Amino acid sequence: MKVITLKNIVLSTLLLFATVCFGQNYPNKPVTIIVTYAPGGLGDLLARQLAEQLTTKTKQSFIVENKPGATGALGSRFVSKAKPDGYTLLLGQTGEMVINTLVSKDLGYDPFQDLKPIALIGEVPLTLVAPPNAPYSSLPEFIKLAKSQPNKFTYASSGTATPGHLAGAALAQLTGIDMIHAPYKGAGPAMTDILGGHVDVFFSSTPSVIQFVEGNKVKALALSAPKRTHVFPALHTVTEDIGKDFSFTLWGGVFAPADTPENILQTLNTQINQILMDPQFKKQFEKDGINIRSNSREEFAQFHRTELANYKKSLQSINLKLE
């Protein structure tokens, strides 16, 4: 039988007090937010916008660090094994937090066991873009040309098994065209090669291509979401053009190592939601085509589980085999 002594009571009380104070004083030094892809994509945009606001709000530096590699697994693994004190966070996205678990047996991390969801930041559709000098200006025109010249056309992605890769593979399978997959280490490098005409099409996050579309530096061919977006109101969806269900979106949210204290996780959720609901911040994100909403940690966790089920169903329905 364990004997409860005055010493044990005092030590337990001090430990509880220290834990509470630790959460109340958080953060008291710089916080690093890891983005698992190269600069230029949705995750990088979300992380940098959020870091700027959190820095202002907390009076402590929130620093964004890009750790690309292994389709997001490198950075995710790094955060999952980081000290669980709230000072190393992950801007997790669809690929590394959902798709990787469906297509890889040995990630070195489990998104549902090794990381804790804090808050969903935003969700966006993908936009299929092409070089400005491409001999096609719509998805039907591209499909017609690609069918006439099998295995000549390439589609870029931010990496193997990312939503952009799956969207491109699904488009090829559902329309009967043959395309060559060109994976990159992030959206930035992929967009660079689209601008230079080195690849033929690219399913990119919508916020990342707005300036290029408006500046006539790329052609927007179609949208991956089931419905059109207010950012490109005249742009058809893939579903409209091919007459088959087609839905691939990107999202990004903040995660922490699994053993991070609950009070720190809740503090971050509260701070992030206050930022998301700020009228000016919300307006800017919506201008960029990013859908945002306040959400509790439990709501984000449920969203995460639902996304896993949805992507599992999508992969099974198109019988996609990854190279």
Considering the domain delimited by 6-123+250-318, tell me its CATH architecture: 3-Layer(aba) Sandwich (3.40)
With a cut of 90, say whether residue 210 has pLDDT above it.
Answer: yes
What is the model's pLDDT at position 21?
47
| Alpha helical stretches, state H, 176-244 | 187-195, 206-214, 238-242
Mean pLDDT taken over the chain: 90
Contacts of 1 (CB under 8 A, 6+ apart): none
pLDDT confidence of 258, banded at 50, 70, 90? Answer: very high
Q: Is 318 helix (H, G, I), strand (E, B) or coil?
A: helix
> Averaged over 297-309, what is the pLDDT?
96
CB 33 within 8 A of CB 45: no
What is the model's pLDDT at position 8?
52
Q: Range(s) for CATH 3.40.190.150 in the chain?
A: 6-123+250-318
- In the chain, the percentage of residues whose pLDDT exceeds 90 is 71
What is the model's pLDDT at position 2?
44
Domain spanning 125-242, CATH class: alpha beta
Residue 251's closest CA among 105, 41, 26, 79? 41
> Averaged over 123-138, what is the pLDDT?
96
What is the model's pLDDT at position 322?
57
pTM (two decimals): 0.80
Instruction: Judge residue 299's burial from the number of C-beta atoms within 10 Å of its C-beta, 0-12 exposed, 13-18 middle, 19 or more buried.
Output: middle
Instruction: Judge residue 303's burial from the number of C-beta atoms within 10 Å of its C-beta, 0-12 exposed, 13-18 middle, 19 or more buried.
Output: middle
Report the DSSP beta bridge partners of residue 34.
65, 90
Q: Is 13 helix (H, G, I), strand (E, B) or coil?
A: helix
pLDDT confidence of 19, banded at 50, 70, 90? Answer: very low
Q: Range(s) for CATH 3.40.190.10 in the chain?
A: 125-242
Name the least confident of 122-126, 230-234, 311-315. 311-315
Name the least confident of 6-10, 196-200, 257-261, 303-307. 6-10
Contacts of 76 (CB under 8 A, 6+ apart): 36, 90, 92, 96, 97, 100, 107, 109, 111, 115
pLDDT confidence of 249, banded at 50, 70, 90? Answer: confident
CA–CA gap between residue 132 and residue 11 (Å, rounded): 68
